[in-house]
């Protein structure tokens, strides 16, 4: 928040909201969904928050860039119901996915080096890979490969006897590149010019630019995870010192003039 808070200080919903650039309704929604601990209540029924709630909200907002809204919310709900092991498991899964994305990025870079070091091999005669086998290799559905074909990203030939799609070596290379770039968050329309450039041997610059951008986004996510971890640790420390009960009692003192 914009100012330091004393441990016993009471905050109105509007105070908590303004301190984090949110609406009061968003703060109430976060509380009702379990992202924040339950608020206290005055004798008149108005919500009151504490610096612990501010810590929780700061932790949640810091977790979102690295883990996504849904996972960040699940982490906070787990913490608030005293299931820290579940929260840590969710965080571990995000880190595992980030590592997978980094490895995918490295795989694309290796593919780029292969593409620039030698011309793409042609399909050997009638040999090739059928759609089911290629789909299993990539971990996608056959319908996904057909979608990529409609988008012009792969061009399998048809077996003259069976009519089945057959992917030659060049097609497999293109499908692998499409899959890797899709894992990096690129849309099909963004991938199309990269694949066309690779096919036309006009130079690797478009793919290199995409890889630089992908590097930046992966690094930004890793750094966001570090920031989120620091904020979550601060919340856990504060929570261990002064836990908020799931069903808090009435807060003594006069009513606060704020919307409940």
- Supply angle C-alpha 243, 246, 248, rounded to 5: 85
**Of 180 and 125, the one with more pLDDT:** 180
pLDDT at 5: 54
Nearest Cα neighbor of 21 from 66, 69, 63, 54 is: 54
**Percentage of the chain lying above the pLDDT 90 cut:** 45
Regarding pTM above 0.75, the answer is no
Class of domain 13-94+221-251: mainly alpha
Domain residue spans in the chain? 13-94+221-251, 102-216
Q: Is the pLDDT of residue 227 over 50?
A: yes
What is the spatial distance between Cα 129 and Cα 135, in angstroms, rounded to a whole number?
10
pLDDT at 244: 46
**Average pLDDT estimate for 128-143:** 89
pLDDT at 185: 74
pLDDT at 182: 82
Alpha carbons within 13 A on the beta-carbon side of 57: 28
Q: Find the radius of gyration of the CA atoms of the chain.
A: 26
- Supply angle C-alpha 208, 66, 103, rounded to 5: 40
Q: How far is CA 30 from CA 18, 162, 241, in A?
A: 15, 57, 22
- Report CA torsion sign: 185, 188, 194, 198: positive
**Average pLDDT estimate for 101-116:** 69
Burial label for 56, CB within 10 Å (0-12, 13-18, 19+), is buried
Q: Is the pLDDT of residue 207 over 60?
A: yes
Number of Cβ within 10 Å of residue 11's Cβ equals: 24
The pair of structure tokens assigned to 85 is 């092991």
**Percentage of the chain lying above the pLDDT 70 cut:** 78
pLDDT, tens digit, 9 for 90 and up, residues 161-176 = 888 899 988 888 788 8
CATH of domain 102-216: 1.10.1660.10
pLDDT, tens digit, 9 for 90 and up, residues 232-249 = 999 999 999 876 444 444
Q: Is the pLDDT of residue 122 over 80?
A: no
pLDDT at 228: 98
**Would you say the CATH fold of 102-216 matches that of 13-94+221-251?**
yes
Nearest Cα neighbor of 107 from 214, 196, 222, 202 is: 214
pLDDT, tens digit, 9 for 90 and up, residues 43-61 = 888 899 999 999 999 999 9
Instruction: Label each residue of the chain as H, E or C.
Output: CCCCCCCCCCECHHHHHHHCCCCHHHHHHHHHCCCCCCCEEECCCCEEECHHHHHHHHHHHHHHHHHCHHHHHHHHHHHHCCCHHHHHHHHHHHHHHHHHHHHHHHHHHHHHHHHHHCCCCCCCCCCCEEHHHHHHHHCCCHHHHHHHHHCCCCCCEECCCCCCEEECHHHHHHHHHHHHHHHCCCCHHHHHHHHHHHHHCCCCHHHHHHHHHHHHHHHHHHHHHHHHHHHHHHHHHHHHHCCCCCCCCEECCCCCCCCC
pLDDT-derived band of residue 66, with 50, 70 and 90 as boundaries? very high
């Amino acid at each position: 928040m914009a100012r330091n808070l004393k441990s016993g200080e009471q905050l109105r919903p509007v105070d908590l909201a303004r301190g984090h650039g949110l609406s009061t309704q968003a703060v109430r929604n976060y509380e009702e969904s379990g992202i924040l601990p339950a608020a206290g209540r005055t004798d008149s029924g108005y919500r009151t928050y504490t610096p612990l709630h501010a810590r929780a909200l700061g932790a949640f907002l810091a977790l979102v860039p690295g883990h996504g809204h849904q996972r960040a919310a699940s982490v906070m709900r787990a913490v608030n119901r005293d299931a820290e092991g579940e929260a840590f498991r969710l965080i571990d899964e995000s880190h595992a996915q980030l590592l997978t994305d980094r490895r995918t990025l490295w795989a694309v870079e290796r593919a780029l080096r292969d593409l620039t070091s030698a011309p793409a091999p042609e399909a050997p005669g009638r040999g090739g890979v059928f759609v089911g086998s290629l789909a299993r290799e990539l971990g996608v559905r056959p319908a996904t490969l057909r979608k990529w074909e409609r988008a012009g990203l792969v061009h399998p030939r048809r077996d003259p006897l069976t009519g089945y799609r057959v992917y030659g070596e060049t097609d497999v290379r293109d499908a692998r590149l499409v899959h890797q770039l899709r894992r990096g968050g690129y849309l099909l329309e963004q991938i199309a010019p990269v694949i066309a450039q690779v096919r036309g041997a006009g130079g690797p610059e478009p793919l290199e630019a995409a890889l630089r951008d992908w590097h930046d986004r992966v690094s930004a996510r890793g750094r966001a995870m570090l920031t989120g971890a620091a904020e979550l640790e601060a919340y856990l420390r504060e929570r261990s010192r002064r836990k908020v009960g799931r069903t808090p009692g009435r807060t003594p003192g006069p009513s606060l003039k704020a919307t409940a």
